[in-house]
A and B are shown apart, each in its own frame.
Chain A
Amino acid sequence: MTAGDMSKVATTNGTTPATDAKGAKAAGAIANWADERLGLGTAMKKNLRKVFPDHWSFMLGEIALWSFVVLLLTGVFLTLWFDPSMSEVQYNGAYDPLRGKHVSSAFASTMDISFDVRGGLLMRQMHHWAAMIFIASMMIHMMRVYFTGAFRKPRELNWVIGCLLLLLGTIEGFTGYSLPDDLLSGTGVRAADGFMKASPVVGSYMSFFLFGGEFPGESIIPRFYVMHILLIPGILLALVAAHMLLLVYHKHTQWAGPGRTEENVVGYPMLPVYAAKAGGFFFIVFGVITLMGGLFSLNPVWKFGPYDPSKVTAGSQPDWYMGWPDGLLRIIPAWETHIFGITLSWNVMLPILVMPPLMLMILMALPFIEAWITGDKREHHLLQRPRNAPTRTAIMVALMTFYGLSWAAGGNDIIAIKMHLSINEITYFMRGAVFIGPVIAFIIARRWCISLQRHDEGKLLHGIESGVLVRSPEGAYAEKHVPLPVSEAYTLSARDDDPTPETVEEIEASGLAGRKVRLRKLRAKLQALFFADNIQKPTAEELHDAQHHAEHELHELESQIAAGPNRHGPTEH
């Protein structure tokens, strides 16, 4: 399909080239030169008018992408002044309260960037804000992808890449905010040393190797620096590129609607509309981060002072994305096993060394677990509304609840102070809540989805409430229902039916034996649970009958209005 009728499109976008003939000739010559060497014509022919569907939620990943670009730009600026060294220097910069103090070069150069380089503090704060936005938008984008079923075949691998991006982004954030070597971040590094030492068998060796000897040593900042500016960004960049390439190859998912099917993709062409919107959006993200960097203070290292292993500030907290394991670390009971002269620190291993990797593995496995349970091997390009996959939605809501409660536990001291509660009671409450909360959230979310499905079914079968009340001659009141517009009815009903799980008899009749049968039975059972109580879309007959019935009712009502002693209905009759 071509762009269609352009006759009425604004003349600025017309067919007459904006450049004059001479310019066009020169441009043509350059294009020819390049194409003869690069063969761009073939590659660009397909992609210049590539279609991208439009929906606000597709913008979330874009925020992540653009904030990553801002991170690269501001990060390069910071490297021009930052000195990743832990050698001791005397601070002689502009900030009076710390002048004359012995600090590390890393801390001194961070102070110089903040107070002696024009725009330095702006760039530092932009870099930090962009990092927070990067990780936040990745997480929200991931939830969007999950809730709408966009992770299904053929996009499972892109989901896995996305999970790795989230992991790397988090590590990148941690290594980044540790670089200034200030008291707050140093406390975080000290805790990281404790985490490593708690690793079974090799813990103290890992710590000595990472820190180049005993904590804190003088190697950790240079080593974090090389990870932060070279190793991890390199991998991030490669994975972002792979993420984008797969997106282009698979073409973007879209919402169901009139004319939008599994076989096509409907939207605006890359050139000009999508390129303009995405390009413009880059400037908006960049602009908002710049405003935040200029107006909202973040990580004021001059207030914390340089790192000193004998000092700590109350209310020490990591950046928000590290908060949830820190919360688990706070609420776990004091479990440590001392046996055969060795120490097993469950109180550190479970929340830090087990839970985050486990959570990541659960996330990465979600598409594969769901596909195995549903047995669905088809490609999916139409998104599902969260309500139409109640169990899936409820699984993510449960995970989010666990995350949220753990995260809140990471601020138990702040909650205690601000809300005048006992920190002990908050901790005891959280110990139970992280287990019970997700279960409650799962049940509520699932039932909520199913009642929303019922509501959709009602709209399809009985139409929508018109707001017109009618009184019959007998004095009874009724509300007129009007059928949904066709496009809306189509959109609501353009969804998949859930499969019917195999029965035990069917499985046993298949002639398989042993493990295979047990697996099939397990799958049938999980499938039944997965789809239990879901509302299926009405069949064509059901719809027809319901419409017939509704028409009849409407007719009845209208004749009552016409015959009735007083009329409160619409005046078109």
Chain B
Amino acid sequence: MSDAHTPDPTGHELVPAGPIPDPGLPEHQWRPTDVDPAKEKRAERQVASLLGLSAVCVILFLVSYFTLDIGDNWHVVAGFGASTMALGASLGFALLLIGVAIIHWARKLMGDHEISELRHPARSTDADREGTLEALSLGLEESGIGRRPLIRNSLLGALGILGLAPVVLLRDLGPLPGDKLYHTIWGKGTKSKPMRIVRDGIWTPILASDLENGDLVNCQPDALHNPERYGIDPTEVEGVNLQIHKSKASLVLLRMDPGDIKPGKDANGNSRENWDVNGIVAYSKICTHVGCPISLNERTTHHLLCPCHQSTFDLANSGKVVFGPAGRPLPQLPIAIDDEGYLVAQSDFDEPVGPSFWERDYYDRW
């Protein structure tokens, strides 16, 4: 038994025969279409009809293309454009019928004798191998690569150095991160004009009295809509820049009973007891796991759940992770009220928002 597995130098030793001798290929069986001309004719007609039906489907496709409207009547059939459905169904059947016709032809009418072909081992013959090795060594010999190490080594060196060119060429793919990940536009507020917190989408400032206990509001910095007020160039908050700012500055406000808040520590080890306004706390909306915006609020527990990977943060306890894969608490934004009574940011976040990265530091909040 084990001898069957002795490595064979030629590499193509075959599996030994079993206990029952090979009865050989079974005899060929004629099909009804081979022996009965009527059945043969019938199969022929079936194939032709299938192909004919396919042509009819193509005509239907053309008719649908030119007669059915698309556009705002997109919810015509089953919530979905009549044009798309008609085009898909007619073209689909046109293709399907051609396929069925060809396979029907192959199965009923084409010769169905199984034939046998000999295999050959994947390896080349010994003669071919020797010939190749000979040619290879002759070629290498004539090139003198073995005798001229100076050329060989300088060639390898030159090719290696050449590899630096494409690597360097890719340098301008993007700027270096610098400190961009550490700052958001919340930091652009000044002592006289602190950054107002405004409702996302409608851009209205928020009075502390606008929120009831348990209310959650999605917010953005006022500068995204009102840049001049903070001395920011409007192009700074347009198009792609707007998206970049939003991906870092998005904020949630949540109001809870002030007694529920257990203030943690900030980056300098001082208490966060003055970071809320009458029980209104502000946290980054960007999950510290991989950056999804968090939005599912559990009203009674002050827990905020990320819909992407279900990390859950306790907004009453400095954004502590209470469930899920996120490794860091949500960054909290210290807030206050300005002289008109609107909610504003005291400063920027005191740590980078969003997903973790290698060089970011961490401080313990508790």
Contacts and interface: CB of A to CB of B under 8 A. Distances in A.
A-B complex is real: yes
Given A212-B173, A297-B80, A379-B121, A287 B33 contact: no
Interface stretch (A489-497, A508-516, A564-572): A489-497
Closest 9 CB pairs of A and B: A294-B88, A336-B327, A194-B290, A287-B96, A283-B99, A259-B25, A280-B102, A291-B92, A287-B95
Contacts of B285: 310
Given A265-B119, A277-B103, A342-B359, A290 B91 contact: yes
A251 B119 contact: yes
Contacts of B263: none
B115 A268 contact: yes
A59 to B, nearest CB: 11
Contact of B83 (A1, A118, A262, A264): A118
Interface of B: 1-2, 4-5, 7-8, 11-26, 28, 30, 33-35, 40, 43-44, 65, 70-72, 74, 79-81, 83-89, 91-103, 105-106, 108-119, 121-123, 170, 173-177, 180-181, 200, 218, 220, 238-240, 243-244, 246-248, 250, 285-286, 289-296, 307-311, 321, 323-328, 354-362
A214 B106 contact: no
Nearest to A6: B111
Contacts of A197: 355-358
A330 B25 CA distance: 55
Interface string A245-266: 0000111000000111111111
Nearest to A124: B84
A321 interface: no
Contacts of A267: 114-115
Given A190-B292, A205-B177, A378-B8, A334 B20 contact: no
A417 to B, nearest CB: 11
Interface stretch (A29-37, A163-171, A215-223, A391-399): A215-223
Interface in A193-238: 193-195, 197-205, 207-219
B358 A199 contact: yes
A347 B91 contact: no
Contacts of B123: 154
Nearest to A154: B122
Contacts of B102: 276-277, 279-280, 283
Given A4-B28, A347-B327, A412-B310, A381 B22 contact: no
A410 B307 CA distance: 12
B70 A116 contact: yes
Contacts of A543: 19-20
Nearest to B328: A336
Contacts of B87: 118-119, 122, 294
A564 to B, nearest CB: 34
A141 interface: no
A568 to B, nearest CB: 33
A416 B328 CA distance: 25
A10 to B, nearest CB: 5
Contacts of B85: 294-295
A309 B89 contact: no
A293 interface: yes
B307 A259 contact: no
Given A154-B121, A497-B1, 9 more contacts: A12-B40, A200-B358, A214-B248, A272-B106, A273-B111, A288-B96, A348-B356, A378-B14, A427-B324
17 contacts: A3-B111, A49-B115, A213-B244, A262-B119, A273-B111, A280-B98, A280-B102, A280-B103, A287-B93, A291-B88, A294-B85, A309-B247, A312-B307, A330-B309, A379-B121, A381-B119, A489-B20
B358 A195 contact: no
Contacts of B118: 263-264
B292 A187 contact: yes
Interface in A71-96: 86-88, 94-96
Given A262-B14, A297-B79, A493-B18, A122 B88 contact: yes
Interface string A271-286: 0110011011111111
B72 A283 contact: no
Contacts of B5: 374-378, 499
B84 A121 contact: yes
B103 A281 contact: yes
A352 B98 CA distance: 44
Nearest to A344: B358
A160 interface: no
B111 to A, nearest CB: 5
A212 B20 CA distance: 69
B14 A329 contact: no
A329 B92 contact: no
Contacts of B238: 88
A264 B116 contact: yes
A12 B122 CA distance: 38
Contacts of B4: 378, 496-497, 499
Nearest to A157: B122
Contact of B175 (A208, A292, A309): A208
B25 A258 contact: yes
B158 to A, nearest CB: 27
A478 to B, nearest CB: 26
Contact of A194 (B19, B355, B359): B355
A121 B74 CA distance: 10
Most buried by A among B2, B20, B91, B296: B20
A313 interface: yes
Nearest to A500: B2
A413 interface: yes
A370 interface: no
Nearest to B296: A314
Most buried by A among B85, B86, B88: B88
Interface stretch (A447-455, A534-542, A555-563): A534-542
A320 interface: no
Contact of B358 (A203, A250, A262, A272): A203
Contacts of A116: 70-71
Nearest to B21: A490
